[in-house]
């Protein structure tokens, strides 16, 4: 008998173990090295030629293959089946999503701000006409979603003209990420008229704690007043919440607040080590995001993408208020060019951005030896920021797997 994995099941080898990725169901099955060797041997020869099937010791291998068959992962054949190697999709990233950091200036002074914004930070260097051109240039390069962010984007004096331009260019999604303290009735009318989505940030369900994070007295009242108006006017709204030591006891209150507002509950994120956020003293003592752990899931598209490109970075760029192009708002030192010196197209086609977009887990320390590497989520700026050497290839700190032994360490 010949045994093969089904066409949509892919064996990925790690250093100590392997994994079968079932791309139709999305499930990822961990297997030991003996099972990996067996499946590899099955590609070359019939089972009878690999082992003596009458020996009781080998029954274990047969029952493993039976189990794979029962799970729909493989099948036995009398004659060697034709080669059914799955073709990798020819996905090539093009620009999809663009952040425009209109200004570094802000009326808040949040403890953790990755762009180190404050009322005293200079606004930025990009002339208004360059922002307008960039909106068209990015669209021509394929972008269909755009986010105006900062600093505080509503402090950028001519932000409304940028929105009008983005609408003219037919972006599918136009979002403004604002602290919402400056949202007045005119803004609400404008958002409605131009079909704008809003993202904002809440650090607590009360002014005392929220304003301790923003270092701006009265910011909570203003942000909450805006949130209520946005909701009353049916303007698409999402709220982010970032947890640090100053507000770590607010997690439940924040979740309840979301529920009262009728918003999707999403567990708050933890402060990331970028800008003012790169400070151990800010880290929460009790709250953390779940560690990276099985079960892992994927789908054919994500699997194909993550074999050649970074699953999150590829297709996105941020342009900072001084014109730098970076692959993510948190990857502030991965500068791939500057739009005051080059066209966006040249930067998008350049080597520096290609290297960022191509940072697969095959380039990442430790992960490159792991069988889960094409199903496991990755945040490069987070791994880099947490690493004492600040290496772009640093292994994620929130994973206790040792792919060299195939063992998970205890999560305390
Ligand atoms: C930089 S702000 C710009 C938009 C607007 N000023 C605001 O605060 O909503 C965008 C988001 O990034 C979050 N943020 C800033 N620094 C961060 C950090 N070090 N780690 C995680 N999130 C951070 C903010 O809390 C906010 O939700
Ligand atoms: S996180 Fe947003 S609101 Fe806070 S200082 Fe930074 S840009 Fe301003
Ligand atoms: S973070 Fe790296 S080592 Fe950990 S499970 Fe994911 S790919 Fe494997």
Task: Give the residue from 248, 242, 234, 249 showing the smallest Cα distance to 198.
Answer: 234
* 115 CA: nearest ligand 2 atom: 6
* 150 CA: nearest ligand 2 atom: 7
- Could you give the CA distance from residue 149 to residue 140 in angstroms, rounded to a whole number? 21
Average pLDDT, integer, range 312-327:
98
* 152 CA: nearest ligand 2 atom: 7
Question: Atom 6 in ligand 3: which residue has the minimum CA distance?
Answer: 376
* 366 CA: nearest ligand 3 atom: 3
Cβ–ligand 2 contact at 117 (below 6 Å): yes
The pLDDT value given to residue 132: 98
First to last CA, the chain: 47
Average pLDDT, integer, range 324-340:
98
What is the whole-number distance in angstroms between the Cα of residue 64 and the centre of ligand 3?
25
Beta bridge partners of 2: 77
- Could you give the CA distance from residue 366 to residue 387 in angstroms, rounded to a whole number? 13
Question: What is the pLDDT confidence band of residue 411, given thresholds at 50, 70 and 90?
Answer: low
Task: Give the residue from 38, 43, 46, 28 showing the smallest Cα distance to 64.
Answer: 38
The pLDDT value given to residue 159: 98
**Residues 211-226 pLDDT 10s:** 999 999 999 999 999 9
What is the whole-number distance in angstroms between the Cα of residue 370 and the centre of ligand 3?
6
In what helix (H) or strand (E) does residue 70 lie, and over which residues does it extend?
A: helix 59-70
> Is the per-residue pLDDT at 151 higher than 70?
yes
> Is the per-residue pLDDT at 13 higher than 90?
yes
Catalogue the E-assigned strands of 111-209: 145-149, 173-177, 197-201
Domain annotation covers residue 294: no
CA atoms within 13 A on the CB side of 43: 13
How many domains does the chain contain in total? 1
What phi and psi values does residue 202 have, to the nearest 5 degrees? -130, 130
What is the whole-number distance in angstroms between the Cα of residue 113 and the centre of ligand 1?
6
> In a mutational test of the pocket of ligand 2, which residue from 103, 147, 150 has the highest number of ligand atoms less than 8 Å from its CB?
150
DSSP string for 274-313: SGGG--GGGS-SS--PPPB-SPPB--HHHHHHHHHS-TTT
Question: What is the pLDDT confidence band of residue 88, given thresholds at 50, 70 and 90?
Answer: confident
What phi and psi values does residue 157 have, to the nearest 5 degrees? -60, -35
Domain annotation covers residue 221: no
- Could you give the CA distance from residue 357 to residue 312 in angstroms, rounded to a whole number? 9
Question: What is the pLDDT confidence band of residue 266, given thresholds at 50, 70 and 90?
Answer: confident
- Could you give the CA distance from residue 143 to residue 98 in angstroms, rounded to a whole number? 7
* 114 CA: nearest ligand 1 atom: 16
Q: Are 376 and 367 in contact (CB under 8 A)?
A: yes
**Residues 246-256 pLDDT 10s:** 999 999 999 99
- Could you give the CA distance from residue 333 to residue 330 in angstroms, rounded to a whole number? 9
Domain annotation covers residue 115: no
Domain annotation covers residue 199: no
Task: Give the residue from 252, 178, 269 showing the smallest Cα distance to 209.
Answer: 252
Domain annotation covers residue 45: yes
What is the whole-number distance in angstroms between the Cα of residue 114 and the centre of ligand 1?
7
* 378 CA: nearest ligand 3 atom: 1
Mark 22-33 as b/e (b = at least 16 C-beta within 10 Å): bbeebbbbbbee
Question: Atom 16 in ligand 1: which residue has the minimum CA distance?
Answer: 113
Question: What is the pLDDT confidence band of residue 410, given thresholds at 50, 70 and 90?
Answer: confident
Mark 182-221 as b/e (b = at least 16 C-beta within 10 Å): ebeeebbebbeeeebbbbbbbbbbebebbbbbbebeebbe
Cβ–ligand 3 contact at 372 (below 6 Å): yes
Domain of residue 60 covers 2-77
What is the whole-number distance in angstroms between the Cα of residue 48 and the centre of ligand 1?
61
Q: Are 68 and 114 in contact (CB under 8 A)?
A: no
> Is the per-residue pLDDT at 277 higher than 90?
yes
15: its two tokens: 């250093």
Q: Are 104 and 122 in contact (CB under 8 A)?
A: yes
85: its two tokens: 């190697």
3-state secondary structure of 102: coil
What is the whole-number distance in angstroms between the Cα of residue 114 and the centre of ligand 2?
8
Peptide bond into 295 cis (omega under 30): yes
Domain annotation covers residue 299: no
Mean pLDDT over the full length of the chain: 96
Share of the chain above pLDDT 70, in %: 100
Share of the chain above pLDDT 90, in %: 93
**Rounded (10°) CA dihedral 42, 46, 47, 52:** -130
100: its two tokens: 């425009």
> In a mutational test of the pocket of ligand 3, which residue from 306, 372, 379 has the highest number of ligand atoms less than 8 Å from its CB?
372
What does pTM read for this prediction? 0.94
Cβ–ligand 2 contact at 150 (below 6 Å): yes
The pLDDT value given to residue 412: 58
> In a mutational test of the pocket of ligand 1, which residue from 114, 202, 270 has the highest number of ligand atoms less than 8 Å from its CB?
114
Domain annotation covers residue 28: yes
Domain annotation covers residue 323: no
Cβ–ligand 2 contact at 6 (below 6 Å): no
Cβ–ligand 2 contact at 152 (below 6 Å): yes
Cβ–ligand 1 contact at 105 (below 6 Å): no
């Amino acid at each position: 008998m010949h045994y093969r994995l089904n066409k949509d099941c892919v064996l990925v080898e790690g250093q100590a173990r392997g994994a079968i990725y079932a791309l139709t169901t999305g499930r990822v099955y961990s297997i030991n090295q003996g099972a990996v060797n067996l499946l590899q041997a099955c590609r070359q020869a019939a089972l009878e030629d690999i082992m003596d099937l009458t020996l009781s010791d080998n029954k274990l291998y047969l029952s493993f293959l039976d189990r794979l068959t029962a799970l729909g992962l493989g099948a036995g054949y009398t004659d060697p089946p034709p080669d059914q190697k799955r073709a990798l999709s020819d996905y090539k990233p093009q620009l999809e999503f663009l952040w425009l950091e209109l200004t570094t200036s802000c009326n808040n002074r949040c403890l953790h701000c990755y762009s180190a914004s404050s009322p005293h930070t200079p606004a930025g260097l990009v002339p208004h006409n360059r922002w307008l051109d960039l909106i068209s240039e990015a669209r021509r390069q394929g972008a269909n979603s755009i986010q105006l962010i900062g600093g505080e984007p509503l402090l950028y004096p001519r932000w409304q003209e940028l929105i009008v331009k983005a609408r003219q260019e037919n972006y599918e999604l136009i979002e403004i990420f604002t602290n919402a303290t400056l949202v007045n009735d005119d803004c609400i009318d404008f958002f409605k008229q131009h079909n704008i989505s809003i993202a904002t940030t809440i650090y607590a369900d009360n002014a005392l704690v929220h304003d301790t994070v923003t270092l701006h007295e009265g910011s909570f009242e203003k942000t909450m007043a805006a949130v209520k108006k946005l909701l009353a006017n049916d303007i698409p709204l999402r709220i982010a919440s970032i947890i640090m030591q100053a507000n770590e006891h607010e997690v439940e209150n924040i979740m309840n607040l979301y529920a009262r507002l009728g918003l999707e509950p999403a567990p708050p994120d933890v402060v990331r080590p970028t800008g003012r956020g790169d400070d151990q003293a800010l880290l929460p003592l009790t709250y953390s995001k779940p560690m990276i752990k099985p079960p892992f899931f994927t789908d054919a598209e994500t699997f194909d993408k993550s074999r050649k490109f970074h699953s999150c970075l590829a297709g996105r760029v941020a342009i900072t208020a001084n014109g730098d192009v970076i692959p993510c708002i948190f990857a502030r030192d991965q500068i791939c060019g500057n739009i005051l010196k080059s066209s966006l197209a040249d930067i998008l086609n350049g080597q520096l951005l290609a290297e960022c977009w191509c940072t697969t887990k095959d380039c990442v320390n430790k992960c490159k030896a792991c069988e889960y590497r094409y199903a496991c989520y990755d945040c490069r700026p987070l791994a880099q920021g947490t690493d004492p050497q600040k290496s772009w290839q640093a292994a994620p700190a929130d994973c206790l797997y040792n792919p060299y032994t195939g063992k998970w360490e205890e999560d305390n």
